[in-house]
Amino acid sequence: MVVELIKLSKTSDQPLYLQLYNQLHEMIKNRQIPADYKLPPIRKLAKKLGINNVTVVNAYKLLESDGLVYSKIGSGTYVTDLENKELFEGNSVLEESSDFEEVKLINQGQIEIGENTINFASATPTPELFPVDDFKNALNEVLDRDKGFAFGYQESQGFYPLRESIATYLSVGTSKIEPEDIQIISGAQQGIDIIAKALLNYGDCLVVESPTYTGAIAAFRSRGAHIIEVPIEQDGIKLDILEDKIKKFRPKFIYCMPNFQNPTGYCYSYAKRKELLKLATKYEVLIVEDDYLTELDYGERELLPLKLLDTNDRVIYIKSFSKIFMPGLRLAFLSVPQELYEGVLAAKHISDISTPGLIQRAFDLYLRKGIWQKQISYMREVYKERYYKMLNAVRQYFPQDIEFIPPEGGLTFWFKLPEGILAQDLYEDCLEKDVLFIPGSVFYPTPRSSQHFRLSFAAIYPEYIEAGIRIITKSINKLLKGKKKNRTKSYTPLL
Ligand SMILES: Cc1ncc(COP(=O)(O)O)c(C=O)c1O
């Protein structure tokens, strides 16, 4: 069927493999070739068209890099199911996801900040909050104790005493985590990347909450994986949609943030945590739990990580220390189901051999001496103050029709603008007034405009919070006015 439709010209300026690629590309996009259709084997197609095998190989490779076909080893090349066309289109090219230069930078994890910028964009602590003296003491103690050993290569899984102290810190009641389960990593971002390397092959599917953390989107994209979005609501991921997508796409894993989800700040209900684990067991799918912030809760609810509720070894737990400790130290850990030990260890070794031993040793002392707990309490107090400053300012100044749900903790608020106003427009207007935040569009794997935006209070001194909110309010009101004017114009009768 396909062969009859292809017309190649040997006299054309365009190379044959490009002609073949372009025609197949057209047919797949127009659904002339259905999903999961097996393309003709390379040799057979080459023979029928009177061209070299290599020509067909090159055309198929290009289609594969577009995500339009996928290959099964030993079986052949198949057409991707494009029912979720836009879903897959957004997965290949990071730069395409926004027209705005600055938003592109945010997409790449970079934000340009001027001297006087009020920065609601970064969710990173300000430097004066870092426990510099405590850490200096811990470093000195390690150097006096371990001398040059602190500077050797550390074992790839991590300094054993640190794994022991993390296991003790993490085990609650009967939920025990063993030092053998723990893999030290250089930041949670590396953890996400390692999991992607260990579990994902080109064309594999995985599920993310929608919206989700941009760093995870980038890591999964870099593996050429198909990112399937499932909406998140106030009490967690939408389970009915999740189950449908699991059945349809058979994802390798579900990446989620049950506590203070980035960017929404939502927390899963206890019932949803249990249901999610049930689904993971039923369909034998793994869960990647990114716990970057559980300690920063300002409410009453106990927020147990999924890992501690997981009785069937389904959860890969990634724990960052960046938001409470010091992000520049690049320290975090993974706890993985036994079946993944070897793959994860190999991926870590390939990435950077090991996380610096000196830092691991100092952090071990830090945990054993209980300074970590002290730091958590201190950070919680500091951030709680900023949180309430923000909440009060928003309640006082933002127009009523801006929707938001106050989070129970964390560092960010997630807002929805009224119909007809895009966060990108607000972003541009605020940028001119030196106020920076993140428009919602960057938190989705597929390019789209968004009415949502995220404001973080992590990197902003309390005295600037109100000033910043007032500036954003002015911009919102200006856009609302413009909207009303446009509406009047478009509905004026032509009489
Ligand atoms: C949800 C989430 N996961 C992981 C990370 C990366 O953390 P780390 O500094 O430990 O690499 C971040 C950073 O902001 C984050 O927001």
Q: What is the DSSP string of 250-303?
A: --SEEEE-SSS-TTT-----HHHHHHHHHHHHHTT-EEEEEES-TT-B-SS---
**Of 351, 372, 393, which closes a domain?**
372
For 452, which DSSP code? E
Beta carbon of 200 within 6 Å of any ligand 1 atom? no
* DSSP H stretches of helix in 78-210: 85-89, 101-107, 132-146, 160-170, 188-199
**Of 372, 392, 425, which closes a domain?**
372
Q: Is residue 32 part of a domain?
A: yes
- Cα 292 to averaged position of ligand 1 atoms, centre (Å): 6
| Residue to substitute in 317, 322, 456 for testing ligand 1 pocket (most ligand atoms within 8 angstroms of CB) | 322
The total of other beta-carbon atoms located within 10 Å of residue 309's CB is: 15
Beta carbon of 125 within 6 Å of any ligand 1 atom? no
Q: Based on the domain organization, do 66 and 211 belong to the same domain?
A: no
Beta carbon of 256 within 6 Å of any ligand 1 atom? no
- Cα 410 to averaged position of ligand 1 atoms, centre (Å): 13
For residue 408, give the 3-state DSSP assignment. coil
- Tokens for 282, please give them: 């039923």
C-alpha–C-alpha distance, residues 46 and 227, integer Å: 33
Q: Which residues contact 480 (CB under 8 A, 6 or more apart)?
A: 399, 418, 421
C-alpha–C-alpha distance, residues 474 and 90, integer Å: 33
- Cα 230 to averaged position of ligand 1 atoms, centre (Å): 20
Q: Based on the domain organization, do 414 and 365 belong to the same domain?
A: no
Q: At what angle do helices 132-146 and 371-397 cross, to 10 degrees?
A: 160
Strand 452-456 relative to strand 412-416, pairing: antiparallel
Beta carbon of 436 within 6 Å of any ligand 1 atom? no
Q: Which atom of ligand 1 is nearest to the CA of 320?
A: 10
C-alpha–C-alpha distance, residues 114 and 289, integer Å: 35
User: How high is the pLDDT of residue 101?
Assistant: 54
Q: Based on the domain organization, do 178 and 233 belong to the same domain?
A: yes
The total of other beta-carbon atoms located within 10 Å of residue 47's CB is: 14
User: How high is the pLDDT of residue 458?
Assistant: 93
Q: Which residues of the chain have pLDDT under 70?
A: 73, 83-112, 172-175, 484-495
Q: Based on the domain organization, do 199 and 334 belong to the same domain?
A: yes
C-alpha–C-alpha distance, residues 102 and 91, integer Å: 20
Instruction: Give the max Cα distance, the chain.
Output: 89
Beta carbon of 186 within 6 Å of any ligand 1 atom? no
Q: Is residue 94 part of a domain?
A: no
C-alpha–C-alpha distance, residues 438 and 105, integer Å: 11
Beta carbon of 214 within 6 Å of any ligand 1 atom? no
Beta carbon of 257 within 6 Å of any ligand 1 atom? yes
- Cα 213 to averaged position of ligand 1 atoms, centre (Å): 8
Q: Based on the domain organization, do 331 and 401 belong to the same domain?
A: no
- Tokens for 270, please give them: 């206890």
C-beta separation of 209 from 267 below 8 A: no
Q: Single out the residue of 412, 411, 441, 413 nearest to residue 426, CA to CA.
A: 441
Q: Based on the domain organization, do 289 and 425 belong to the same domain?
A: no
| Residue to substitute in 193, 209, 267, 320 for testing ligand 1 pocket (most ligand atoms within 8 angstroms of CB) | 320
**Of 372, 392, 412, which closes a domain?**
372
Q: Based on the domain organization, do 228 and 104 belong to the same domain?
A: no
- Cα 349 to averaged position of ligand 1 atoms, centre (Å): 21
Please, which contacts does 462-465 make with residues 24 or more away whose CB atoms are closer than 8 Å?
462/385, 462/386, 462/389, 464/118, 465/386, 465/389, 465/390, 465/393
Q: Based on the domain organization, do 112 and 138 belong to the same domain?
A: no
| 242-276 CB burial, b ≥16 within 10 A, e <16 | beebbeebebbbbbbbbbbbbbbbbbbeeebbebb
Strand 205-210 relative to strand 253-256, pairing: parallel
C-alpha–C-alpha distance, residues 140 and 159, integer Å: 18
User: How high is the pLDDT of residue 228?
Assistant: 95
User: How high is the pLDDT of residue 92?
Assistant: 40
User: How high is the pLDDT of residue 170?
Assistant: 81
Q: Is residue 91 part of a domain?
A: no
Beta carbon of 327 within 6 Å of any ligand 1 atom? yes
Beta carbon of 187 within 6 Å of any ligand 1 atom? yes
Q: How many residues does the chain have?
A: 495
Q: Based on the domain organization, do 225 and 347 belong to the same domain?
A: yes
Beta carbon of 322 within 6 Å of any ligand 1 atom? yes
Q: Single out the residue of 441, 443, 446 nearest to residue 87, CA to CA.
A: 446
Q: Based on the domain organization, do 123 and 270 belong to the same domain?
A: no
Q: Which atom of ligand 1 is nearest to the CA of 261?
A: 1
CATH number at residue 271: 3.40.640.10
Beta carbon of 424 within 6 Å of any ligand 1 atom? no
CATH number at residue 53: 1.10.10.10
Q: Is residue 85 part of a domain?
A: no
**What angle is formed at CA 198 by the lines to CA 41 and CA 189, rounded to 5 degrees?**
125
User: How high is the pLDDT of residue 464?
Assistant: 94
Beta carbon of 189 within 6 Å of any ligand 1 atom? yes
- Tokens for 77, please give them: 């090349």
- Cα 179 to averaged position of ligand 1 atoms, centre (Å): 23
- Cα 191 to averaged position of ligand 1 atoms, centre (Å): 10
Beta carbon of 215 within 6 Å of any ligand 1 atom? yes
Name which residue sits closest to atom 7 of ligand 1, judged by CA. Answer: 188
- Cα 290 to averaged position of ligand 1 atoms, centre (Å): 8
- Cα 19 to averaged position of ligand 1 atoms, centre (Å): 44
Q: Based on the domain organization, do 463 and 436 belong to the same domain?
A: yes
Beta carbon of 213 within 6 Å of any ligand 1 atom? yes
Q: Is residue 10 part of a domain?
A: yes
Q: Please give the tally of structural domains in the chain.
A: 3
- Cα 194 to averaged position of ligand 1 atoms, centre (Å): 14
**What angle is formed at CA 310 by the lines to CA 412 and CA 271, rounded to 5 degrees?**
60
Q: Is residue 486 part of a domain?
A: yes
- Cα 320 to averaged position of ligand 1 atoms, centre (Å): 7
- Tokens for 400, please give them: 């009523």
C-alpha–C-alpha distance, residues 114 and 424, integer Å: 19
Q: Single out the residue of 290, 286, 220, 282 nearest to residue 258, CA to CA.
A: 290
CATH number at residue 463: 3.90.1150.10
Domain that holds residue 486: 100-127+374-491
User: How high is the pLDDT of residue 492?
Assistant: 39
In angstroms, the first-to-last Cα distance of the chain is 58
Tell me the per-residue pLDDT of 418-432, one tens digit each, with 9 for 90 and over: 988 999 999 999 999
Beta carbon of 123 within 6 Å of any ligand 1 atom? yes
> Is the pTM of the predicted complex or chain greater than 0.85?
no
C-alpha–C-alpha distance, residues 337 and 8, integer Å: 52
Q: Is residue 86 part of a domain?
A: no
Please, which contacts does 478-483 make with residues 24 or more away whose CB atoms are closer than 8 Å?
478/429, 479/417, 479/421, 479/425, 479/426, 479/429, 480/399, 480/418, 480/421, 483/418, 483/420, 483/421
Q: Is residue 441 part of a domain?
A: yes
The total of other beta-carbon atoms located within 10 Å of residue 419's CB is: 8
Beta carbon of 475 within 6 Å of any ligand 1 atom? no
E strands, 25-181, in order: 69-72, 76-79, 118-119
- Cα 328 to averaged position of ligand 1 atoms, centre (Å): 12
- Cα 173 to averaged position of ligand 1 atoms, centre (Å): 27
C-alpha–C-alpha distance, residues 94 and 86, integer Å: 14
Q: Based on the domain organization, do 321 and 403 belong to the same domain?
A: no
Beta carbon of 355 within 6 Å of any ligand 1 atom? no
